[in-house]
């Protein structure tokens, strides 16, 4: 039997189709308008807003089909870049879980990310007071009560989980948390299909086919693919890997102008569903 390929969308129809299917043109206009307002909101730092042009949060969340009455989990939100949009968007009608890095980790960099997240949440309780912080780590896997979640999101995390050997376990927990018919939205640095490297510390570009197989092995089905976060300028062959590019600029001032002109990494954007029972 020939396997049907998931739909692929371009920028032109992306927001229209995703939101039309989840509630019509008026709902699409409302959601896009609200997401746009929050992405450029005064509650976000200048550094956060500067990355909108590379991360396309409005288009990405619209593609996944988000609605403000959903229960949503973001896995490993690090310092809270997407939290600053998701938390206020879901605050009144929905529910938002930030499944953070293990607070008991011995890794100082990971602890720093948790500190950044909590500092942001505590800085503006009128926006972040309803965020529910859980933990995602070996032995700490209840990201939200089982079968209660409409959407799980992850942004550029698969490589971290594969380095730690927990990739499949993470997606199994996401599957467990979601309701039947729930959505998993995934964004990740995309490897060159002709040069996919083993995922080990220092390698963050992930093969798209590899990611699909990994996630589907946890029970999900791929339903759509988008090029919203594609960057054809990204040659993926840098001295310090993906961290050579902005915003990290791991090479310091060396060739900084060149890397700034490339922009952030080329990324795949995938939408999966938990099949209905």
24 is a domain residue: yes
CA nearest to 260, candidates 250, 270, 269? 250
* Percent of the chain residues past pLDDT 90, beyond the cut: 81
Mean pLDDT, rounded, of the chain = 91
Q: How far is CA 237 from the centre of its chain?
A: 23
Per the structure, how many domains does the chain have?
1
- For residue range 222-266, list pLDDT tens digits in order: 999 999 999 999 999 999 999 999 999 999 999 999 999 999 999
Token pair for 131? 């965020």
Q: What's the confidence (pLDDT) of residue 213?
A: 98
- For residue range 171-225, list pLDDT tens digits in order: 999 999 999 999 999 999 999 998 898 899 999 999 999 999 999 999 999 999 9
Q: What's the confidence (pLDDT) of residue 17?
A: 54
Task: Note down the domain range covering 33.
Answer: 7-273
49 is a domain residue: yes
1 is a domain residue: no
Rounded CA separation 86/94 (Å): 10
> Model confidence at 12, in pLDDT bands (50, 70, 90)?
very low
78 is a domain residue: yes
Q: What's the confidence (pLDDT) of residue 25?
A: 44
38 is a domain residue: yes
Please tell me the number of Cα atoms within 13 Å of 164 on its side-chain side: 16
Q: What's the confidence (pLDDT) of residue 139?
A: 82
Q: What is the pTM of this model?
A: 0.90
- For residue range 140-160, list pLDDT tens digits in order: 888 999 999 999 999 999 999
86 is a domain residue: yes
Q: What are the DSSP calls for the chain, one per residue?
A: -PPPPPEEE-HHHHHHHHHHHTTHHHHHHHHHHHHHHHHT-TTS-HHHHHTHHHH-HHHHHHHHT--TTSEEEEE--TTTTTHHHHHHHHTTTSEEEEEEEPTT---HHHHHHHHHHHHHHHH-HHHHTT-EEEEEBTTB--SS-TT-EEEEEEES-HHHHHHHT-HHHHHHHHHHHEEEEEEEEEEEEBPPTTSPPP--TT---B-HHHHHHHHHTTT-EEEEEE-TT--TT-----TTGGGGSTTT-TTTTTTHHHHHHH-SPPEEEEEEE----
2 is a domain residue: no
The better pLDDT of the pair 18, 85 is held by 85
241 is a domain residue: yes
Q: What is the CATH number of the domain that holds 154?
A: 3.40.50.150
């Amino acid at each position: 039997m020939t396997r049907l390929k998931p739909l692929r969308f371009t920028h032109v129809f992306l927001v229209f189709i995703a939101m039309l299917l989840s509630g019509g043109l008026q709902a699409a206009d409302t959601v896009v308008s609200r997401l746009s307002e929050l992405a450029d909101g005064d509650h976000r730092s200048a550094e956060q807003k500067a990355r909108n042009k590379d991360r396309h949060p409005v288009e990405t969340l619209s593609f996944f089909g988000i609605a403000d009455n959903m229960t949503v989990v973001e896995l490993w939100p690090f310092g809270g870049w997407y939290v600053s949009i998701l938390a206020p968007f879901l605050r009144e009608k929905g529910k938002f879980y930030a499944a953070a890095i293990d607070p008991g980790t011995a890794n100082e960099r990971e602890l720093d990310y948790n500190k950044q997240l909590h500092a942001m949440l505590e800085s503006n309780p009128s926006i972040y007071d309803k965020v529910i912080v859980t933990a995602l780590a070996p032995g700490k896997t209840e990201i939200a009560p089982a079968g209660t979640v409409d959407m799980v999101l992850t942004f550029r995390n698969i490589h971290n989980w594969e380095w730690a050997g927990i990739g499949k376990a993470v997606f199994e927990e996401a599957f467990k948390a979601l309701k039947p018919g729930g959505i998993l939205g995934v964004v990740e640095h995309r490897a060159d299909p002709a040069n996919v490297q083993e995922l080990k510390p220092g390698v963050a570009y992930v093969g798209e086919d590899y990611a699909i197989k990994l996630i589907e092995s946890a029970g999900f089905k791929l339903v759509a693919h988008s090029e919203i976060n594609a960057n054809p300028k990204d040659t993926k062959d840098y001295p310090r890997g993906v961290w050579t590019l902005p915003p990290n600029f791991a090479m310091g001032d060396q060739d900084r102008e060149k890397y700034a002109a490339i922009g952030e990494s080329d990324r795949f954007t995938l939408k999966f569903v938990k099949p209905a029972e």
